[in-house]
Amino acid sequence: MSNVTTHSFTNCNAQAVALAERVAAQLREAIAARGHAVIAVSGGSTPRDFFARLSREALDWAQVTITLVDERWVPDTDTRSNAKLVETTLLQNAARAARFVPLYTGAPTPEAGLAEADARIAALPVPFDVVVLGMGEDGHTASFFPGGDHLAAALDPQGTAKVLPMQAPGAGEPRITLTLPVLLDTRALYLLVSGEKKRDLLADVRLGLAEAKNYPVRAVVRQDRVPLAVYWCP
Ligand SMILES: O=C(O)[C@H](O)[C@@H](O)[C@H](O)[C@H](O)COP(=O)(O)O
pLDDT in tens, 206-217: 999 988 999 999
Residue type, 172: G
Express each pLDDT in 188-229 by its tens digit: 999 999 999 999 999 999 999 988 999 999 999 999 999 999
Ligand 1 centre and the CA of 35: distance in Å?
30
Q: Where are the beta strands (DSSP E) in 78-224?
A: 99-101, 128-133, 163-166, 175-178, 186-194
Per-residue pLDDT tens over the stretch 145-198 = 999 999 999 999 999 999 999 999 999 999 999 999 999 999 999 999 999 999
In this structure, which residue's CA is closest to atom 4 in ligand 1?
43
Per DSSP, the three-state class of 50 is: helix
When pLDDT is averaged across residues 6-32 and rounded to a whole number, the result is 98
Average pLDDT value for residue range 34-59: 98
Is 1's pLDDT higher than 70? no
Residue 71 CA to ligand 1 center (angstroms) comes to: 10
Residues with Cβ within 8 Å of residue 159, at least 6 apart in sequence: 153, 179, 180, 181
ipTM: 0.97
- Give the predicted TM-score (pTM) of the model: 0.98
Sequence-separated (6 or more) residues with CB below 8 Å from residue 190: 19, 23, 130, 131, 132, 133, 228, 229, 230, 231
Mutate to test the pocket of ligand 1, among 15, 76, 86, 135 (most ligand atoms within 8 A of CB): 135
User: Closest ligand 1 atom to the C-alpha of 133?
Assistant: 9
**Residues 6+ positions from 41 with CB-CB distance below 8 Å:** 47, 51, 66, 67, 68, 69, 86, 90, 131, 132
